[in-house]
Structure 1
Amino acid sequence: MTAYRTVVVGTDGSESSYAAVDRAAQVAAAAQAKLVVACAYYPADQDTVNKAQDVLRDEAYQVVGSAPADETLHTARERAAAQGATDVDSVAVEGEPVATLLRVVKKYSADLLVVGNRGLNTLAGRILGSVPSEAARKAGIDVLIVHTT
């Protein structure tokens, strides 16, 4: 079996997504592969972000503009380095999570996609779909779903 050459992982700034970054970094380090950390976002003005955070409370990490995506990626790169990954790229991409991850996988010719399992076993995830299940169905490459919740 050939070792992975390029590993893509998504993060949204939540602790569970950072756990997926940690695991992806471990896999990339072991395979001496490039790690690409992706963060999907929709640009928003500060007023919109503040209003959404008031409503969402604990789920507010999902409301990001370009600056918070940069902060999320910085934290993810630091965590990846702590796990031994040495060749790390990061990219903030406007759009919804699954489509964004698939674009990054294609752009970097990745051979492994790593996602966390958040939403996989929820009722909403079963009815509406979840990032891990949709990514696994559509990726066309190996997908590692990390137990993060």
Structure 2
Amino acid sequence: MTYRTVLVGTDGSTSSFRAVSTAASLAAATGAVLVLACAYLPMRESERAAAADRLGDLAYKVGGSTPADDALRAARQHAVAAGALDVVLAAERGDPVDVLISLAAGHRADLLVVGNRGLNSLAGRLLGSVPSGVSHRAGCDVLIVHTTDGGR
């Protein structure tokens, strides 16, 4: 099977960039479009006000989709470095699993890539995690990339 559209989730963390690099390499190898996806939730007003007080003129960086957009721009750099040629950025408000599933369907992704962070934690086992939720709900192939140092 040749993948035409590969979607990868990122939250801007170092471990998520490992998943981005893997997805970008696969997209480059198959000539697929790479969709970089980031979910975000709005801050509570009290948190936003406190952050704005501390950041002053840079307060806009914690509002709306700006943190997600920043994460996507950084992820694009990793994707291009790994060989991706056709990169699409997608930031969407909502729960990470819901956003990834929705974006994968909307972009008609053949492959959804996520990092494994959270799968081995107690909270991940009891409450569910992004990789676990995505693997159970995706309507396409799912690749869970080992992005953490633990267990190896």
TM-score by length of 2: 0.85
**Offset of 1:7 from its aligned partner?**
0.2
Return structure 1 stretches of 4+ with deviation > 6 angstroms: none
Aligned match of 2:33: 34
Identify if the C-alpha distance between structure 1 residues 30 and 46 changes in structure 2 by more than 3 Å, giving closer, same or farther.
Answer: farther
Unaligned stretches of 5+ residues in structure 2: 52-61
What's the counterpart of residue 15 of structure 1? 14
- 3-state SS, counterpart of residue 109 of structure 2: coil
Give the C-alpha shift of residue 45 in structure 1: 6.8
Structure of greater Rg: 2
In the alignment, structure 1 residue 136 sits paired with structure 2 residue 135: yes
Q: Secondary structure at the match of 1:4?
A: coil
C-alpha separation in 1, matches of 2:124 and 2:63? 21
8 Å Cα contact 1:24/1:35 also seen in 2: yes
Aligned pair count reads 138
Relative distance call for 1:16 and 1:50 in structure 2 (3 A) is farther
* 2:71 alignment partner in structure 1: 72
Match status 1:113 vs 2:131:
no
The CA distance in 1 between the partners of 2:147 and 2:104, in whole Å, is 21
State how 1:66-105 maps to structure 2 within 5 Å: 66-105=65-104
8 Å contact from structure 1 (residues 69, 92) kept in 2: yes
Give 1:136 deviation, angstroms: 0.4
CA RMSD of superposed structures (Å): 1.9
TM-score (norm 1): 0.86
1:86-111 per-position Cα deviation (integer Å, ceiling 9, x unaligned): 00000110001000001100111001
